[in-house]
Amino acid sequence: MVTKSLSTPTEGIAMILNVQGVTKRFGGLQALTNVTFDLPEGQILGLIGPNGAGKTTLFNVINGVYAPEAGQVIFRGRNMTGKKPYQLAKQGLARTHQVVRPLNELTVRENVIVGACFGRENHRLKQASKIAEEVLNFVGLGGKIDQLAGSLNITEKKRLEMARALAARPYLLLLDEVLAGLNPTEIEYMLNIIRQVRDGGITIIMIEHVMRAVMGVSDRIIVLDYGKQIAEGTPQEVSQDPRVIEAYLGDPKLAKKLMEE
């Protein structure tokens, strides 16, 4: 296995994403407060925190689904704050959804072609179809290529989400709970895919509740609680941080999982 750089990012290292002071409100609810971090290229950043902590919202702000009330999102050196999701996609950002969103009446292949056609590389249909086949084989959906996406089961739909995102050949990939609901074998399979993607040079932020998995695969972890960053560091550092343990005590199930590490 490649040795991971455990040092916190410093000046000089190429940053693919800078999130600066991002704040997001929904009516009276403060979903994100002053979230700030830099992400060096080629790493996997784990984003954890109890349910409702604002993790998905942070993804939504990064990829332009919501504009933040304050703060900036700088992607590959460009200020993309308030830009539309498709503008970020064209710049090389791809994501999966926590609640899967397959294009039901299209085939699995067509779903992935959409990713390849309209993502960063802007392929024609024919090339996109080849890419789709490659990517679908890579995530293990090769056998379902001509089925309607709506007919897949949930595990397959999660893989489809992954395939669509990968087909865009992004620089940065946002994974929102891709392991949730999978059995241990499936988790291992997916983790393997994630590692390979990272080794292929794609930077990843992953939101995950399956602690052992996220701790094992991440280079760095950020912990959100009630929209605030309460801890940040290597998996080692974070898992020993008393604030993190406390945050998770509100969620006994997760606290227990964390203790088991």
Partner 1 sequence: MKRLMNPGLWITLLIVVALGLWPTITRNAATRELVFTILLAIGFASSLNILLGYTGYVSFGHVVFYGLGGYIGMYLFKQYNSPLWIAVPAGGLAAGLLAFILGKSILHLRGGYFALVTIGVNEAMRAFINTLKPFGGPTGIELDFSVYKPYGGAANALWLVYYTAFGLALLFIIISFMIKTSKFGLGLLSIREDEDAAEVMGVIAPNLKTWAFVLSAILPGMLGVLFFFKNGNVEPGDAFRLGFSIENLVMIMLGGQGTVLGPVLGAIVYQRLRGLLLVSPLFKNIQLSVSGVLLLVIVLFIPVGAVGWLRNRFPRLRRVLP
- Return the range that interacts with Mg ion (CB under 5 A); candidates 8-16, 52-60, 124-132, 141-149: 52-60
Select the binding partner of residue 51 from partner 1, Mg ion, ligand ADP, none (C-beta < 5 to 8 A, by kind). Answer: ligand ADP
- CA-nearest of 172, 166, 168, 194 to 39 is 172
Task: With beta carbons less than 8 A apart as the criterion, state whether 222 and 37 touch.
Answer: yes
Q: Report if residue 33 touches ligand ADP, rule: CB under 6 A.
A: no
- Return the range that interacts with Mg ion (CB under 5 A); candidates 8-16, 55-63, 154-162, 183-191: 55-63
CA atoms within 13 A on the CB side of 167: 33
Q: Report if residue 29 touches ligand ADP, rule: CB under 6 A.
A: yes
CA 7 to centroid of chain Cα atoms? 21
Task: With beta carbons less than 8 A apart as the criterion, state whether 260 and 253 touch.
Answer: no
CB of 244 to ligand ADP, least distance (A): 15
Select the binding partner of residue 104 from Mg ion, ligand ADP, partner 1, none (C-beta < 5 to 8 A, by kind). Answer: partner 1
Q: For 230, list phi and psi in degrees, rounded to 5.
A: -100, -15
65 vs 176: CA distance, rounded Å: 14
Report the interface residues with partner 1, using CB under 8 A.
63, 65, 84-86, 89-90, 94-95, 97, 101-106, 110, 113-115, 117-120, 124-125, 128, 164, 168
Q: Residues in contact with ligand ADP, total (CB under 6 A)?
A: 11
Q: Which one among 30, 36, 98, 127 touches Mg ion, defined by CB under 5 A?
A: 98
Residues 173 to 202: which contact ligand ADP by CB under 6 A?
none
Q: Which one among 56, 63, 81, 218 touches Mg ion, defined by CB under 5 A?
A: 56
The CA R_g of the chain, rounded to the nearest whole Å, is: 18
Q: Report if residue 26 touches ligand ADP, rule: CB under 6 A.
A: yes
CA 172 to centroid of chain Cα atoms? 8
Task: With beta carbons less than 8 A apart as the criterion, state whether 38 and 18 touch.
Answer: yes
CB atoms within 10 A of CB 230: 17
Q: Report if residue 155 touches Mg ion, rule: CB under 5 A.
A: no
Interacting residues toward ligand ADP by CB under 6 A: 26, 29, 31, 49, 51-57
